[in-house]
Structure 1
Amino acid sequence: MSALTRDLPAALAEVKAEITRTDSKASLLLAFIGAVLAGAWSAGHDLPHTPCLLVPGLAGVALLIGAAGVLLSSVRPNLKGRHGFPLWATLTPEQIRDAVVTDLAADIAGLSRLAVTKYTALRRAVDLTRAGGLLLLVAAVLTLGGAA
């Protein structure tokens, strides 16, 4: 067995593991965003509805909802892919055998592009979550300043 033959399955396993990690991170971040939104919703009922509180508060909530949308799109299955099981579902057993033998490098490349897309969405969602959290923090500080 050549080094290339041994290295391709290892590379494929690494890419699949990266995809799994992005999905796990997205799940955790979705749960965090849900908890922050629930807290903001609960706290918002007891606060005065002045423009100086509503503007940063609602903007923060909007950014968190946007982050959740980005995360949901990153974990949405792509069943039209031409690599891995979506491709194999369209092939006969003989074609699968040929595809696995000849197209392993293409699978690695395609799945790597998918992993990069998922990580890009995850980064965008983290940035939106940070911005939304900062705006909610501004609203909270303004609320405390008004209560003093």
Structure 2
Amino acid sequence: MPDPGDPTTELGIHTFTTKHTIPTAGGAAVDILAAAAPTAVSTWTCSGCGETGADSLVAALLSAGGHASQCGRGTVPTRLTEAVAAVGAELKRVDSKASTLLTLAGAALTVVLAMISRTSLPAVAGVAGWVCVALIGLGIALLASAVRPSFNGDHGFIRYADADDADDVLARLTSDPADPAAAQREHAQQLHWLSRAVRTKYRRVRLAVDLLVAGVGAAALTVALATML
């Protein structure tokens, strides 16, 4: 006899269910109770928004997957996560640019120093050459400051690097905000710090590029004066 109080029985036959979980775009999850019998009803529930659904197995899987791909998209937590990832990628990009420019500037400085070390170089050309050295040197200093590691902020590995021991690390982990609003605020602080770091790096790289371009002009002037005089 089927048990009216047991939703897992249908016409006296026990229908087993399996549970599946699909992560949502907003960081929650859709839990699916998939019935083994094709004619039985499968259900799903979203832990993020509370929406539920019930249908045949295939239809329930399709609707649950569609809901998971959209639920939470565009919300503040999702946008914060996407923004932090984008800024983190930009941070790697500016570091790569600065490192490449630093290598090129170092090579250019070596060439210019070799050129102005010639004893036969006219005085005017020598002055232009030393101006070139100064410009490139300042550019190198700015690029070096751009790639210099910063240990400001209180997130990521920095949060645990100052711990006294493993117990302190565990204590800091357990003290992380469990409240969604507090966690969201901490995420926003991380985004703010990363954004400021990227902006500072780009400003230094931009100024360094201006100095290097001026240095190239001074180098060209040095060569021209050395040729004419």
* TM-score bracket, shorter-length normalisation: 0.7 to 0.9
Which amino acid in structure 1 is aligned with residue 175 of structure 2? Q
Higher fraction of helix = 1
**1:26–1:122 contact (8 Å) kept in structure 2:** yes
TM-score when normalising by structure 2: 0.58
The residue that corresponds to 1:11 in the other structure is 83
Q: Shift of the alpha carbon at 1:48?
A: 2.1
Higher RCO (Cα < 8 Å, 6 or more apart): 1
Structure 2: which 5+ residue stretches go unaligned?
1-25, 27-71, 163-168
Higher Cα Rg, which structure: 2
Determine helix, strand or coil for the equivalent of 2:227: helix
Q: Shift of the alpha carbon at 1:116?
A: 0.3
TM-score when normalising by structure 1: 0.87
Please state if 1:127 is matched with 2:210. Answer: yes
User: Which of 57, 60, 75 does residue 132 from structure 2 map onto?
Assistant: 60
Change (3 A) 1:52 1:11: same
Higher fraction of strand = 2
2-structure distance, mates of 1:50, 1:132: 19
Identity over aligned residues, as a percent? Answer: 32
2-structure distance, mates of 1:50, 1:65: 22
Q: Shift of the alpha carbon at 1:138?
A: 0.4
Q: Shift of the alpha carbon at 1:84?
A: 3.7
Mapping for residues 14-93 of structure 1, pairs under 5 Å: 14-46=86-118, 48-90=120-162, 92-93=172-173
Which amino acid in structure 2 is aligned with residue 139 of structure 1? T
Q: Shift of the alpha carbon at 1:44?
A: 2.6
Aligned-pair Cα RMSD in Å: 2.1
Q: Shift of the alpha carbon at 1:8?
A: 1.2
**1:88–1:96 contact (8 Å) kept in structure 2:** no
Structure 1: which 5+ residue stretches go unaligned?
none
Q: Shift of the alpha carbon at 1:105?
A: 1.1
Please state if 1:118 is matched with 2:198. Answer: no
Aligned pairs, number: 146
